[in-house]
Structure 1
Amino acid sequence: MRLDLSLSATELTRAVVDIPSPSGAESTLADAVEEALTGLGGLRVDRDGDAVVARTELGRQTRVLLAGHLDTVPIADNLPSRLADGHLYGCGTSDMKAGVAVMLRLAAVLAGSVGSVGTAASTPSVGFVPAHDVTWVFYDNEEVDAVRNGLRRLAANHRDWLDADLALLLEPTSGEIEAGCQGTLRVAVTVPGRRAHSARSWLGENAIHRAAPLLERLASYQPRTVTIDGCVYREGLNAVRITGGVAGNIVPDVCEVLVNYRFAPDRDVAQALDHVRETLDGFPVELTDSAAGALPGLTAPAAAAFVRAVGRTPVAKYGWTDVARFAALGVPALNYGPGDPNLAHTRDEHVELELIDTAEDVLRRYLTGPAAGPGRP
């Protein structure tokens, strides 16, 4: 399937959405993205698995990296896409194919190969020249286990492809700048009991009942609110799954409670785990998964320049995104993109069309500068 980058950002979003790409099945969309970028000319285009990376080589003093994942959560009877009342509905519209479409439009604009199709958001780069070198990273498997993440693979296999002065993840932010991200960890808490026939329950100890004090402790937990660089991060410690019991006539002898801690980026994973163990003192805690957060990084010159250019006050990112991966690589990173994060992964996922056009316009103005006149380079 071909992608026509001369379409408006809205129309291109619809085309991208209508190419199904649940995690692990991104190859058709990756093929289309690679073909479209290669066809622009003037870009170096590389591929690793179902991750596609394109870059300009203009010799600018600064490089900005735009990143977006190609995959979606499983389709929930919400394809093909549909337009209604200024919104585009469909799987991945908000998270994050609108951002992917904006990235593709910007590649076409900066390559100077798109003719006007009659809307302000689709105006080509006539009268403008790139102010930065730009890298575009389209990657796979963001919505699944971190070990499969395409950006993680790129960092391991091609670290130099990710070099930049600033990385912008076009995750849905409703057009706001979301700085940093929360860290996350999950622990399994196993509560033992003694198995017995439920008709003679006094001979056993019900492990599910014995988990009640743990649940009460979690229910009464008072999470921190932490302000960093003006961004307010709210924490949370929650039971997210309970398993126990083997049959309808047996007193269970084991109950497992999975607990998720979302923590502010002023703590690393070790400190967060220490806090969970202290909070759940008296219960055995086993770490099952973790990912460090990322500080806002707003003092980095490139990040500060982007904030000034957009003219929005940054807010904290609730949730984990790959800004943390870039932060670990020493690359300042921010979240900025069309779409409402609260609609991600829902059956009625949709994106406001105006947000798509606004995101393209804001990023185009940031990435380009006045055209060179006579005697100027």
Structure 2
Amino acid sequence: MPAHSRAAVLPELTGDVVDLTAAVCDIPSVSGDETRLADAVEAALKPLGHLEVLRDGDSLVARTNLGRDHRVVIAGHIDTVPIKTNVPTWRETALDGTEELWGRGTVDMKGGVAVALHLAAVLTEPRWDITWVFYDHEEVAADDNGLRRLVANHPDWVSGDLAVLGEPTAGGIEGGCNGTLRAEIATTGRTAHSARAWRGVNAIHAAGEILDRLRAYTPREVDVDGLVYREGMSAVGVTGGIASNMIPDRCVVTVNYRFAPSLDPAGAEAHVRELFDGFDIEITDLAGGARPGLDDPLVQSFVESVTGVTGGAPGPKYGWTDVARFAELGIPAVNFGPGDPMLAHADDERCAVEEIRSCARALHTWLA
């Protein structure tokens, strides 16, 4: 029987969280191929009598039902980007003496998944009810996202008073996230032979006005619940041209707008349309952000408890993450997990062993 077809088995969840991280990473689960790991996670959680385990495709939910005053959702995706000779995992000692776990998924985000699995087994009587969410298809198209599917099909499975997404934050707290919008800003012209350019209208030349507006644009810095989110308005692509001897009649500048979570998607679209008034504009992608909700008492207790273990103060998440899906449900959400996000998806992806343990200790302290 091929090795990949054998059922995968995770080690005892209550054991060493770093060994568990390595085991989770060593089960390949590139987006679209998560079933084997999902099966292993389900098999490890099912025997735990204090948890109700639910499954939708390759997404799993395990939750306590103790009748506590609050419910906390701890979520993470089980898929990775493609593997490049970096599975199975291995350990190395860095020049500064730091022990590191190397391999695909150690940062994004199986360290966070392993922390959640470990605590799901250990915390049989948590101070609040907990919903543990392990979902598929995060690293690919949004339409396939397992958390999006759970929110759409089973919103009651993922409801709560606070959500913590185990995305890599180097062990710090990053609240909420910016929203993201992509737009195609088009110019039109008239074709002609380039030897008689005066007979045409060059659409690429006309795109200079779009770039001028971008160069003159000053992105905002917006305070949201005590965190300052930096926005961005950037050209990320230019397409145009027919042949090397023709004046082009169309040019498209693709613009990406990263907007603070104080602005809703409709407001973000209106801002882009105002900035590029006079041009043909097509919105090709739009996802709202998430407020961190730092004024919420439960979020405040999380921040106080976690920073007491890991140190540092919470900061904003400039990129978009799945915390935005919890925002759709009106749930304050933060990002917190082991791993340097600058190493996510890298061939030299690696995570400090102590960071995994520190995140596990911090969450345990707060939840217990």
TM-score, normalised relative to structure 1: 0.88
Determine which of 210, 223, 228 is the counterpart of 2:224.
228
What is the aligned partner in structure 1 of residue 4 from structure 2? none
Secondary structure (helix, strand or coil) at the match of 1:307 reads helix
Give the whole-Å Cα distance in 1 for the aligned partners of 2:239 and 2:103.
33
Shift of 1:92: 2.1
Q: How does 1:113-128 map to 2 (within 5 A)?
A: none
Deviations 1:133-187 (A, max 9, x none): 2110001122222222211111121111112222111111111111111011111
Secondary structure (helix, strand or coil) at the match of 2:168 reads coil
- Greater Cα offset, 4-13 or 23-32: 4-13
What is the aligned partner in structure 2 of residue 80 from structure 1? 88
Deviations 1:272-291 (A, max 9, x none): 11111222222221111111
What is the aligned partner in structure 1 of residue 44 from structure 2? 36
What is the aligned partner in structure 2 of residue 140 from structure 1? 136
CA contact (8 A) 2:226 2:294 kept: no
Q: How does 1:178-217 map to 2 (within 5 A)?
A: 178-217=174-213
Give the whole-Å Cα distance in 2 for the aligned partners of 1:7 and 1:216.
58
Determine which of 10, 13, 16 is the counterpart of 1:3.
10
Deviations 1:235-272 (A, max 9, x none): 00011122222444433222111111001111111111
Which letter does structure 1 place at the counterpart of 2:236? V
Shift of 1:6: 4.4
What is the aligned partner in structure 2 of residue 356 from structure 1? 356
Give the whole-Å Cα distance in 2 for the aligned partners of 1:90 and 1:250.
49
Give the whole-Å Cα distance in 2 for the aligned partners of 1:16 and 1:284.
48
Count of aligned positions:
351
User: Any unmatched runs of 5+ in structure 1?
Assistant: 112-128, 369-377
Give the whole-Å Cα distance in 2 for the aligned partners of 1:31 and 1:250.
57
Shift of 1:229: 2.4
Identity of aligned residues (%): 58
Secondary structure (helix, strand or coil) at the match of 1:156 reads helix
Give the whole-Å Cα distance in 1 for the aligned partners of 2:359 and 2:226.
23
Give the whole-Å Cα distance in 1 for the aligned partners of 2:190 and 2:19.
61
Give the whole-Å Cα distance in 1 for the aligned partners of 2:321 and 2:302.
19
Which letter does structure 2 place at the counterpart of 1:99? G
What is the aligned partner in structure 2 of residue 15 from structure 1? 23
TM-score, normalised relative to structure 2: 0.90
Which letter does structure 2 place at the counterpart of 1:234? R
Shift of 1:15: 1.5
User: Any unmatched runs of 5+ in structure 2?
Assistant: 1-7, 94-98
Give the whole-Å Cα distance in 1 for the aligned partners of 2:323 and 2:48.
28
CA contact (8 A) 2:233 2:256 kept: yes
Deviations 1:181-228 (A, max 9, x none): 101111111122222344444443332232122123213321001122
CA RMSD of aligned residues (A): 1.8
Deviations 1:83-126 (A, max 9, x none): 22222222222111110011111112124xxxxxxxxxxxxxxx
Give the whole-Å Cα distance in 2 for the aligned partners of 1:251 and 1:147.
38
Aligned pair in 2 of structure 1 residues 88, 206: CA closer, same or farther (>3 Å)? farther
CA contact (8 A) 2:176 2:332 kept: no
Give the whole-Å Cα distance in 2 for the aligned partners of 1:199 and 1:91.
53
Is 2:294 aligned against 1:286?
A: no
Deviations 1:282-320 (A, max 9, x none): 222111111111122112221111112123522111111
Shift of 1:324: 1.7
Give the whole-Å Cα distance in 2 for the aligned partners of 1:294 and 1:179.
8
Give the whole-Å Cα distance in 2 for the aligned partners of 1:284 and 1:178.
36
Which letter does structure 2 place at the counterpart of 1:95? D
Give the whole-Å Cα distance in 1 for the aligned partners of 2:199 and 2:15.
71
